[in-house]
Amino acid sequence: MSDWQSKRFWKKAQAEACEGGFTVLLDGRPVRTPAKAPFAVPTLLMAEAIAAEWDAQEKVIDPRTMPVTRGANAAIDKVRTQRDEVIAMLAEYGDSDLLCYRAAGPEGLIQKQSEAWDPMLDWAAETLEVRLFVGEGVMHVAQQPEALVKLKNELAAFDEFALAAVHDLISLSGSLILALGVTREAIPVEEAWLLSRIDEHWQIAQWGEDEEATAAEMTKRQAFLDAARFYRLSLT
């Protein structure tokens, strides 16, 4: 935002209507993005959530505690200016979706993946008219060009704010299908996250928990939940 400071310099943050949507004022002055672009978000609820993040800062500003602010900055400074590139990058996940790459063994993991992931692939086939092929191991599974075009069109329908959220949902889970399932409310966000961690949780069950890996997963999980919330705020 404008003039990211290490210390709090304002008394009150508030959401207000502006040209192009809603903005946030700090003591009456409109904030800007890190790239100095005008800061306008699509919904009042998003602006109010951002104002609340600014008001929650105490003596020292911690951007890590401001996920909605960071999401809006990314939408304006990055996604808006590189929209076609972002869509193309995310569309590539359709050709390497996590749900399509299955273990060769053991049998318990094979069954767990099938029970968890097949319903989402069936949902994509029925709702999105996209049937993705499944393979074993890490060798590339080629998908039908028509299916990939449909998935790219799904991404192209999002505005920059929704697309910023979808970017995080996809990159954190490794699955374009799970991300679209979350946006269409076909699967609760917590369940989608757990489905993306089938392999990791299987390994933990076999070999025990690693504290550093668990801490890293908790950070990613929160980012995934934050992305889903940002998506909802972009619509309401």
Domain carrying residue 149? 83-235
Q: What is the pLDDT of residue 8?
A: 85
Structural domain ending residue among the three candidates 79, 105, 121 = 79
Let me know whether 113 and 182 are in one domain.
Answer: yes
Question: What pLDDT does residue 2 have?
Answer: 44
- Contact assessment for residue 20 and residue 39, using Cβ atoms and an 8 Å cutoff: no
**Beta-sheet strand order (sheet of 29-30):** 13-18, 21-26, 29-30
Cα–Cα distance, 159 to 35 (Å, whole number):
20
pLDDT in tens, 51-72: 999 999 998 889 999 999 999 9
Q: What is the mean pLDDT of residues 32-48?
A: 97
Summarize pLDDT for 84-115 with one digit per residue, the tens. Answer: 999 999 999 999 999 999 999 999 999 999 99
Where is 136: in which H helix or E strand? strand 135-136
The H-or-E segment that residue 62 falls in is none
24 and 112 housed in the same domain: no
String of DSSP letters for 156-190? HTS-HHHHHHHHHHHHHHT-HHHHHHHHTTSS-HH
Query: In CATH, what number is assigned to the domain containing residue 207?
Result: 1.10.3580.10
What CATH number corresponds to the domain at position 49?
Answer: 3.30.2180.10
Residue 1 has pLDDT above 60, yes or no: no
Instruction: Report the distance separating Cα 155 and Cα 138, nearest Å.
Output: 25
Distance CA 73, CA 92 (A): 24
SS3 41: strand
Name the nearest CA neighbour of 140 among 89, 101, 173: 101
Model confidence pLDDT, tens digit, residues 135-145: 999 899 999 99
pLDDT in tens, 191-233: 999 999 999 999 999 999 899 999 999 999 999 999 999 999 9
Last residue of a domain, one of 33, 55, 79: 79
Domain tally for the chain?
Answer: 2
How far from 87 is each of 56, 151, 160, 166, 174, CA to CA, in Å? 34, 10, 10, 10, 15
216 touches 195 (CB < 8 A): no
- For residue 5, pLDDT over 70 is answered with no
**Pair (146, 230) in one structural domain:** yes
Is the same domain home to 62 and 138? no
pTM of structure: 0.94
> What letter does residue 60 receive in the DSSP assignment?
B
Residue 4 lies in a domain: no
